[in-house]
Each structure stands twice: as structure tokens, then as C-alpha cells.
Structure 1
Amino acid sequence: MTNNIIEPAKELPVRASVDVLVIGGGPSGIMAALAAAEDGANVMLIESRSFVGGNMTIGLPVLGFLGQKGNQIIKGLPQKYIDRLKAIEASSEHRPCPLHMSLTLVEPEAVKTVALQMLVEAGVNILFYAFCAGVVKEGDELKGVIIESKAGREVVLSKVIIDCSGDADVAFKAGVPCEFGNEQGGVQPPTLMFCLGGVDTEKLRLSIAEEPRTYLTDFIPAEYFGQNNQFVLVGMRNLINQAKEQGLLLPTERTILITGLRKGEIWVNMTRVNGVNGTDPASLTWGEIEGRRQIEDIQRYLVNYVPGFENAYFLKTAPFLGIRETRRIKGQYTMDRDDIMSCRHFEDAIAVASYPLDIHHPVGGGCTLEWCGDCYDIPYRSLVPQDVKNLLVAGRAISTTHEAMSAIRVMAPCMAMGEAAGRAAKMAVKQGIQPDAIDVKALQQELLEKGAHLRIPQESTI
């Protein structure tokens, strides 16, 4: 039996021809599509699932709206989106957090509905249930994307394409050089989030506030829990160790819990599936199976060892495995550890971020965190790939090292990158030029006029 089959060549129907095509409807893709469509451009958003929202729908808080000095550094369209959620009590305020700088709790189901409403209002042409299966290229110019769905293989042509897939799917298929993981090819492990109901969150937080030696948390002082009834808890390593000694199979060294917006709900961020390749369906399938297997012992641990969980019951599992890392493009500039830790300014800054280096170790259950003390810029050049024209990338797949990616990967910076990419694509279409040829100063000016936050005027160190 042969290992390869030659697929006969065939003509593919063109489903649409648009100004801007966004692939991926996660945090960056939503913002990219909204920004690109703002002045009436013909924008299409393609998403492989039946909803938009990406990792905002799996029970995670949105991290990164505030900087390490407590100031708000992500504004513009991302803030407008949060405001829409808050109007229906589906988002909290941006809450300072000693560990994550800030967290914004969102209701996963409302995330899907509100984002979809905003996209429809903006006139974005949305197509669910379709995958990026290939690209249409002429020389080094990307002309469109081949999609695959129950309708078969079709083509969407576009003047500019924005890859918000999180995995650099379009860029990789178009021939953009990409990197994967650390020097050994190891990636941060994914997590299958799950939610428990019936948790006495008041008992939990007051136990930590009043007995910090018993319920020790990582970096977060006990008084934080005495002052906040919605919170993220990271730590309780001693309880984890006790449970492991008594036979429970726990994949992580730390208890990681996130209060929901609804009374008694807790989202649990404790499954860890090392070795999953988020670009391989067989590996992803194994990750889903293993993640679900781990939930049983984690729930048993929480009920038997952690205060407030005595009457907890299982509510739901996230709709998909939360992937932290896959491919990263090689762009015109590659952000590295020094850019983060030195709080670097860039002349072509299109977003400001402050989230720390946060590496969940590819092997084992540990994690490394390092803070820079303030904010750092994300340069436009890191969104512009090498070797391929008419393409921008936004989200965690931009041009970074493994270490720098661990800082810029959280959702608020990804949303800010998406807005910048959408506005840049719109400018390129209007002027009939390549995205790498736009006037970045004009892009920065538009971002500021639309309410985004940038640290300019500034002196560049690159």
C-alpha cells in the first residue's frame, strides 16, 4: 500500500472576493475584523468553530488590560468590547492582580453573543465551520485562501489577509518561515479548563486571608483575598503535595482557580497535558482525552483538601483544549526576552503590554514568572512576516522568541494587536500598497484617535 495519494487537480469555485480577510475569530481576529470594517471596507471573517471568542470562551479571565503600575494600557476597541459585556453584567471591572497584573472576568457564553453582535453590526461577512486548507499565491504575493468545509474546497480572494489563527496557519501554508516551541521544540502544555458549581467562594477566600500559612499562595499576599470577592488563586502547593502523597494523580504543582461571575462558580486551570502538538489533530485528540482523564483526580483533590469545595459539583468542560503555544512566524523584527525585561520602546509601536514572562514548562508541571516592572511596546514589524506580501499576523503567532511569546500571548495584548492589524490592513487597501509599506506614524495616529493607548512620542532604542 502506498503512503501517498495524488489528488487530481481541479478548479475551485471562488466564494468571495473581499478587501480584508481575517482567518480566526478569537480575541485578535474579532478586533482585526471590527477595525478593518470601520470605514466601510468589505471584510470577511472565517472561523472553524460555530462561534467567535476563542480562548475568551473557555473560562479564562482576560489578562493584561492593566500594567504593572496599575494604569490601563489596553484601550480602544478591546475596551469597547468589554463595555458591551459590562452593559449586560457579563464582565467585571479590570481588577489589579499581584500575580497577573490585572484580570477581567468575562462570562463565556456572553462573549460569543456580544462579539457576534458587534461583528454583524459592523457589516463583517462571517463564515463559520470553515478551515484554512491552503493559499493562493502569485510569486511572493498572497492572493487568497483556500477553505475547506462541508461545501467542499473553495477560494476566498482578498487584497490583504490577516492571520489570527493563533497557530500561523495561513502564514505557514503561504511559506512564511516559522519556529515552533523552544530550542528543543518543546511547547508550553495546554490546559482543558472545567467549571465547578456549589463552591463557597467566601469560605475559600477568607480561609486564605485568615490562615495564610496553611493556604499559602504564590506571590499573592493573603490580604488580597480579604479585599476581593472575585479573584484568581495560584498556589496551595502544600495541599497538592499532601494529595499526591495520598495517591491522587495531579499533573501540576499549583492550585489555580478563577472565580466565575455567577455565584458559586469556579473555573479550574489545573489540567496539564505535556507533549501536545496543537497543529496535529491526532495529538490534539489525545490531549482532549488526557485532559478529561485528569479532571477526575483534580476534582477529588479540590473537594477533599481545599476549603469551600466540600459541596462542589461538576458543571461543564471548556469547548476545546486551551493551547498556549504552537508556531511563531519569523517577521521583520523578532521580539525577545530583552525587549520585555528592558521595557523597550519602539518607533513603530502599535500596542503596549505589561504581562510578565510566564512560561509553563514544556516538561513537568512547573512554571517560571518574571516581571519587568513596567510596560513594553509591541512593534508593527513583528506583525509583518518575512517572504510573503499582502499578509499580516496578529495574536500569539507574531514574530517572537519562545520566551517573549510567553508574555505577549495573553488576550488583552492579542486584542490590541488585532485592532492594529485591522487598521493597517484597511490603510493598505485604501492606498493600494503592501501592508509593510504603510506609514506607521499614520497608523499610530489613527489608533490614538480611536482611543488606543501608545507610549508616544518616544525615543526608540532599536
Structure 2
Amino acid sequence: MSTQPPQLLETDIVICGGGPAGINAALAAGRSGAKTLLIERYGFLGGMSTIALVYPWMTFHTESGKQVIAGIAQEIIDRMQAEGASPGHVRDTVGFVNTITPYDPEVYKILVFDMLREAGVTVLLHSFVDDVTVDGDQIASLSITTKSGRITIRAKQFIDASGDADLAHLSGAPCLQGRDGDKLTQPMTMKFRMRGVDLGRVKQYMIDHPDEFYKKTPVDELPHLPLSGVLGFYKHWKAANLPINRDQILFFTGPGEDEVLVNTTRVQGLDGTNVADLTEAEVLGRKQVRMVADFMIRQLPGFERASLSSVGTQIGIRESRRIDGQYVLQAEDVISGRRFDDCIARSGYPIDIHDPSGKGVTAAWVQGDGAYDIPYRCLLPKQITNLLVAGRCISTSHEALATTRLTPSCMATGQAAGTAAGLAVKHHCQPGDMAVCELQSELRKGGALLSSEETVKQRQA
């Protein structure tokens, strides 16, 4: 029989948020030998990947196909593949990026729990952080509300992987939100799955009507590629004239053979950190799901026998609060493929801004070798010295967030934050005071790729 947790817990490292960034941070911290606690408000792990059905993961590679994200993220993919829960990295038949990574979210939920236990990490689900005590420039403790009542947690190091910079905000660290000027954020999307889709018919329609799909769709290769994603059906969408501020249908295939994940609804002008706005977004998102699913069944070839099979537990949030950190990553850094001496992760995903108020998507691809660096300073907030940030709420501009928010990038910054926290505990110092070269060395030992010369093959050798 399990026992109630004490009302005061003490640990080395506490991580808020059990999404991909928080999971990878906890794995890295636990493997360092530090006593680690992961807090998650839902009854399962996975964050937006499981709560909001964000699928597939994109991307681990550059536009040319070179892998730039590995480490713990790749280890998870390898273990998912071993269980038949992911095909690994496959070509993106939308054509927006080189590869995407489908996965079974139900297997992911269990697999990462097993991995966390292997790493000695303690997990508390159904736990919501609602208060932070600050002593000078350090977090002294935080409080969580649970079914067992309120619990106070003291730790040496804290990691905010909440996605919304909740811990940073509560601690008083400076935060930013939205684009310059009107502060509007990228829209929210309620994602949903459909079963009974004839994907062979969908593919043939794409081959026969290439002008109705995204200009970068590899139509000539479709006969020889498994269909992984579709962006278009422009004619059908325009004719439907649904009250959704978007100009096309986007969906990805799998994990079932007759299954798709639809990423088309769009809820704009609401704040994901405001409870009234978030409530309205949930209602609007679910109404849009019904509209879009009904339209697809009535109008799209291949969907004649399809049905709505599942909807996200909550609406998906692309952008909310982010920290104003020691360095704010800029769009120019991303597009130019800028290198930083304190690089702790790289990414090859382009800038991908879903318009906060209009219909379109603004995209800009990374130049040079196709990847840019994420500096360690983007994980370090101002004013609070024993706090690290990982995932969607690291320090970036509104435009740069449109690439760092993607799951593989969040996984990579999570591993970096967890590794840094572990080193801080080991050396009895604060994260901003450690030698970055030692952090980079530990990340490389953990499989991270931090330079254009490093490859997965070299890592495995």
C-alpha cells in the first residue's frame, strides 16, 4: 500500500512540467546522480505531445537531411522503435522539412515513466505549482496543490519546463509574451484524430492534382514514399468557407494505418496564461473540431468512411510566456545559422509563425549548413540564480520562438538544463557560474550534437 507524501519534501533538483523538455531534463539530472523530482499537473506525462496530441515530432534534421538533434531524444526514439511504436525518422511528404518522426503517444507515456524510474527520478502527477518563495536572488521553495493537500518542496536547483514560464513568472524573473507591439501570440489549435481514412486514395488524389497542395510537396516521389503528411486541399477548403482563419488543411498520417492527426483548427487573439481566455479557447477549439471533421468526411477524397476518433485533452498552445533571459535568441540568429561559444543545442527547424491575427503562415529557412545554435544563456533567466528554463519558454524573440518551440528542440534544451542542474549540484555552484565547456563536454557524453562536424555515427562510435 502506498503512503501519503510528507507535507515538506527536500531534494536536489525539482522540475516543473512533465512534457518532452521536462522529461529529458529529469532524465539528464537523474543520471547525474542528483536527487531529482519531476512535477506534472496531469495524470500522465508527455506534455503537449500527449495532452494536446502534438504529432509528429519535427524535426531532428536539417533541410538537407543531416541529423542535428540526438542525445536523450534519439534514445527515446530508439526505444520506441524497439517496441514497434515508431518507424523512426521518415520523409516529410508535406515537404516543409526533410524528416518527421511519428510515434505512438500511449507507448511514449509508459516508456518515459520507465526511463525516469531507471534514472532514479521521483515523479508526482496531479500536482500543480501555485506558489514560490524567493530568498534574495534564489528560489527557496515552491508549493504544489495535490489530492493530498499542499506540499512544500525545497531544492538546490529548479528547472521550469512548464511551457508557460509559470515557475519563472511566480519567482519574479522577467518574462516576455507575444510579438512586439500588440503582444499577440501564435494561435492555439485543438488537434484531433480520425480513423477509417483511405490513405491510398488520398495519395493518388495528390499525384493527380499536385496544384491543390503545398508547393514543396515531393509529388514526383510520392509513388515511392509512404504518405506521412498532407498540406493543401486548397480548392475544397476555400469552397467550404468555414469560419476558421486558415487557408488550408494540414494532417499527418498514423500511428494507425487508417489514421490521421488533423492540425487545422485555429483559435486566435486569446491568452494561454489567462484562465478566462483559456476556457474560451477550449470551447471554440472543440466547436471547430466538429466543423473541420464534418467537412473532411463530406468533401475530401479518402475520408468518405472516416470518423472522428479522439480530441486533445486540452487545446495545443504554440506560444505564451517566455523568459527574458541572459540572451534573447533572434530571428537573424536562426536564419543565418549563427554559432555561439556557449552552444548547448542545435536545431534545423525553420521559423514557422502561424499568424496571430491573419490566415497564413510565415516561414524562413536556416541558411549555411542548415542549423543554428541555441546558446546556454537562453536557459538562464535574469534575477533568479538557481533557476534554469527548458522547452517552449526559453529566452527568444517572438519570431525565434517559432522554431525553438518544436518538440525535438525542446527535448534538446531539456537535456541541457538537466545536465547543467546536475553539474551545479555537484560543484555546489549556481548554473550561471559553471564552466560552459564542462557542460558541453557532459552533453556530448550524453550524445548531444553541438557542432556541424558531429554526427550520430561519430557519437555511436
Smaller-chain TM-score bracket: over 0.9
2:140 aligns with one of 143, 147, 150: 143
Partner of 1:4: none
1:407 aligns with one of 403, 423, 432: 403
Partner of 2:322: 328
Partner of 2:196: 198
Partner of 1:83: 78
Partner of 1:431: 427
Mark the runs of 5 or more structure 2 residues left unpaired by the alignment: 1-5, 455-461
Partner of 1:56: 49
C-alpha RMSD over aligned residues: 1.5
The more displaced of 21-30 and 444-453 is: 444-453
Give the superposition deviation at 1:378: 0.2
Q: How does 1:357-436 map to 2 (within 5 A)?
A: 357-373=351-367, 374-436=370-432
Give the superposition deviation at 1:457: 8.2
Q: Is the 8 A contact 1:167 1:326 kept in 2?
A: yes
| Aligned-partner Cα distance in 1 for 2:300–2:355 | 25
Q: Is the 8 A contact 2:32 2:423 kept in 1?
A: no
The more displaced of 92-101 and 345-354 is: 92-101
Give the superposition deviation at 1:406: 0.4
1:71 aligns with one of 49, 66, 74: 66
Q: Is the 8 A contact 2:194 2:259 kept in 1?
A: yes
Partner of 1:216: 213
Letter paired with 1:71: K
Q: Is the 8 A contact 2:330 2:400 kept in 1?
A: yes
| Aligned-partner Cα distance in 2 for 1:25–1:103 | 22
Partner of 1:20: 13
Partner of 1:240: 237
| Aligned-partner Cα distance in 2 for 1:285–1:218 | 36
Partner of 1:285: 279
Cα deviation 1:164-209 (Å, max 9, x = unaligned): 0000000011111111101211000111111111000111012102
Give the superposition deviation at 1:237: 1.8
Give the superposition deviation at 1:456: 6.8
> What secondary structure does 1:86 align onto?
helix
1:188 aligns with one of 174, 186, 189: 186
| Aligned-partner Cα distance in 2 for 1:132–1:204 | 45
| Aligned-partner Cα distance in 2 for 1:456–1:216 | 33
Give the superposition deviation at 1:153: 2.4
Give the superposition deviation at 1:218: 4.1
Letter paired with 1:20: I
Give the superposition deviation at 1:59: 4.5
2:102 equivalent to 1:109: no
Cα deviation 1:134-153 (Å, max 9, x = unaligned): 11211111122111123332
| Aligned-partner Cα distance in 1 for 2:77–2:227 | 17
Q: Is the 8 A contact 2:323 2:394 kept in 1?
A: yes
Q: Is the 8 A contact 2:54 2:316 kept in 1?
A: no
Cα deviation 1:294-345 (Å, max 9, x = unaligned): 1122112212222110111111111111100001101111100110011000
Give the superposition deviation at 1:231: 1.1
Q: How does 1:205-354 map to 2 (within 5 A)?
A: 205-213=203-211, 215-244=212-241, 248-354=242-348
Cα deviation 1:17-49 (Å, max 9, x = unaligned): 111111000010000000000032100000000
> What secondary structure does 2:345 align onto?
strand
The more displaced of 397-406 and 359-368 is: 359-368
Q: Is the 8 A contact 2:32 2:419 kept in 1?
A: no
Distance 1:138 1:287, change over 3 A: same
Q: Is the 8 A contact 1:250 1:297 kept in 2?
A: no
Distance 1:14 1:368, change over 3 A: same
| Aligned-partner Cα distance in 2 for 1:305–1:175 | 51
Task: Give runs of ≥4 in structure 1 deviating > 4 Å.
Answer: none
Mark the runs of 5 or more structure 1 residues left unpaired by the alignment: 1-12
| Aligned-partner Cα distance in 2 for 1:353–1:426 | 23
| Aligned-partner Cα distance in 2 for 1:437–1:331 | 15
Cα deviation 1:209-255 (Å, max 9, x = unaligned): 23213x322422322433322311112222211111xxx43442111
The more displaced of 200-209 and 276-285 is: 276-285
| Aligned-partner Cα distance in 2 for 1:131–1:454 | 34
| Aligned-partner Cα distance in 2 for 1:456–1:208 | 36
> What secondary structure does 1:16 align onto?
strand
2:349 equivalent to 1:355: yes
Letter paired with 1:175: G
> What secondary structure does 2:159 align onto?
strand
Letter paired with 2:81: K
The more displaced of 229-238 and 61-70 is: 229-238
> What secondary structure does 1:74 align onto?
coil
Partner of 2:457: none
Letter paired with 1:272: R
Q: How does 1:448-459 map to 2 (within 5 A)?
A: 448-455=444-451
Normalised to the residue count of structure 2, the TM-score between the two structures is 0.93
Normalised to the residue count of structure 1, the TM-score between the two structures is 0.93
Distance 1:177 1:55, change over 3 A: same
